[in-house]
Homo-oligomer: A and B are copies of this chain.
Amino acid sequence: MNNTYKNGVFMEDYVEKQTKEVDVWKLKKYACKVKPIDIYTGKNIIVLNQDEAKEHDIYSGYRTTVTIDGRHMIALVDVSRDLVKPGEVGVFLDMMEAFKLRKGQIVSVIHMNRPESITYIKKKLDKGTLNNHEVKMIVDDIMQNRLSEGEIAAWISAAYINGFSDDEVISLAQATVESGDQLNLGKNPILDKHCIGGVAGNRTTMLVVPIIAAAGLYIPKTSSRSITSASGTADTMEVLADVTLGMEELRDIVKKAKGAIVWGGGMKLAPVDDKLIKIRHPLSLDPEGMLLASILGKKKSVGAKYVIIDIPVGRGVKVPYIERGNQLAKHFIKVGSMLGMKVEALITDGSEPVGYGIGPVLECVDVLDVLQGKGPEDLRHKSLLMTGKLLELCGKVRKDAGYDAARKLIDSGKAMAKFRQIIELQGGNPKIKQSDLEIGKYTHIVRSELNGSIFHIDNKVMAKIARIAGAPRDKGAGIKIEKFRGDRIEKGDALFTIYAESEAKLDYALKALKDLEPIELRKMLLGTMR
């Protein structure tokens, strides 16, 4: 008991547990007519007439349940003096669309009781461990919009500070899977890969998928779009094909080609995760337990049995030290196994960008080059390594034979052919050539002002410049790296080229460049003291 109020004075829930919730609000519901309001808010919000709402003890910011034909929606309340008349309920467009409401429909609105899961969020804040039911209730209430942004943020913060037990991670992963649709491909085995991110230009997925599929194995890959990077795999694949596909389409394509590369956000796969990330992202708040549940939950949703996790380590990426990478790797393997998946984690060098191109089109050029036996050696090598490990993990080839097996699938042109099949099935042009791709026509070559050798190329800064130049929205915008770590350079040598689709954006990027240091030369003297 003592633990419950060690850090807080007011322990309302200590008392509330003794006091039954009274559903008098149920008696107070009122009916009103839907009036669409032409605004997107990203949330479920209704607008009530101020005076009428007051009559029903409902005020701005309250949570309500809106009911029509037995369907219940949870919505927050705004109030209006005049736009919404008594007897009407204003409904913002997000909610009109999500619940397929029509103007003039009659709905009933009632004040909502305190959601049950708030008690469990409080328990986690008080260093408690949640059981399966409690985690599931929180996820359910998030999915039903019963919890506010602040309440969800409190749970995330508590998870970040107090951590999750393995069982809590499993509960969350399972609830994450159940929160959405599942692929149910009906084929075996299903392979998958995931990279925890942070490395610019790191487009291994677009090579691993065609090689694995060319090897005759299933790999229904869902990828993300960029949040802060210059391009996500979905953004890059979108240059070549349609990535916004539904679950049915993904299933059909994978049944035919064995592989696909689509945008995960296009389907209802682990949707609770999207809601959590929206709140976690601005704070860069990624509790390890939530990260594991999120990634492995999504793999579970597509039915994956064998999974490779790429953990880039190094200066400027998310995991700066190898010890931390190892620790994270162990967790992935353990939780994966508890969820019935065989996981191999690869700790990779993430200290500089992979490939030449950063930005959707420029990355596509690298990918097509590698599939044709050309292109950046680091991207080719890393992709073969990962594919090889995946082939070994699922038992397709014997230990140490994976890399060579993967290489042969590239060198024989089979992976390229497979990639063209996938592009075609996803609605793209299977005959696409590098020269068809439109790189931004406004360019600027950044040259060295000194002699020396390159010590560090910063992933984050490169991504930032590429974004300011327009990536990923302008597909042809980005950066092409000309010199790499260790390269000897002379004054005037080209270091990298910036591409943009408009002069204004190229200009922004050049202005930004003045304050940034994307490339660091080696310095012998690091400091002096006397």
Contact = CB atoms under 8 A, between A and B. Distances in A.
Interface of A: 5, 7-16, 18-20, 22, 24, 27, 37-42, 45, 47, 50, 57, 60-61, 78-84, 90, 92-93, 114, 118, 121-122, 125, 127, 148-154, 156-158, 160-163, 196, 228, 278-279, 282-288, 291, 316-320, 324, 328, 458, 460-461, 464, 468, 473, 508, 511-512, 515-516
Contacts of A153: 149-151, 153-154, 157
Contacts of A114: 282
A228 B47 CA distance: 24
A11 B284 contact: yes
Contacts of A83: 37-39
B461 A287 contact: no
Nearest to A288: B9
Given A154-B153, A158-B161, A24 B508 contact: yes
Given A19-B516, A283-B118, A464-B19, A318 B12 contact: yes
A194 B92 CA distance: 43
Q: Which of A11, A19, A20, A45 has the most CB of B within 10 A?
A: A19
Copies of this chain assembled into the complex: 2
Contact of A196 (B9, B42, B93): B9
A288 B8 CA distance: 5
A483 to B, nearest CB: 21
B283 A22 contact: no
A60 B37 contact: no
A79 B39 CA distance: 6
Contacts of A45: 41
B160 A7 contact: yes
A458 B17 CA distance: 13
Contact of A78 (B40, B90, B464): B40
Contact of A150 (B282, B284, B508): B282
Contact of A285 (B8, B61, B80): B8
Given A9-B328, A468-B22, A154 B80 contact: no
4 A-B pairs with the lowest CB-CB distances in the bound complex, closest first: A157-B157, A12-B284, A150-B153, A153-B153
Contacts of A118: 282-283
A38 B156 CA distance: 35
Contacts of A158: 157, 161
A461 B512 CA distance: 61
Contacts of A324: 5, 9
A284 B125 contact: no
Nearest to A317: B15
25 contacts: A8-B288, A9-B318, A9-B328, A10-B318, A13-B284, A15-B317, A16-B284, A16-B460, A19-B464, A22-B468, A24-B512, A27-B508, A37-B39, A38-B83, A39-B78, A39-B84, A40-B79, A41-B60, A41-B78, A122-B284, A125-B161, A127-B161, A150-B150, A154-B156, A158-B161
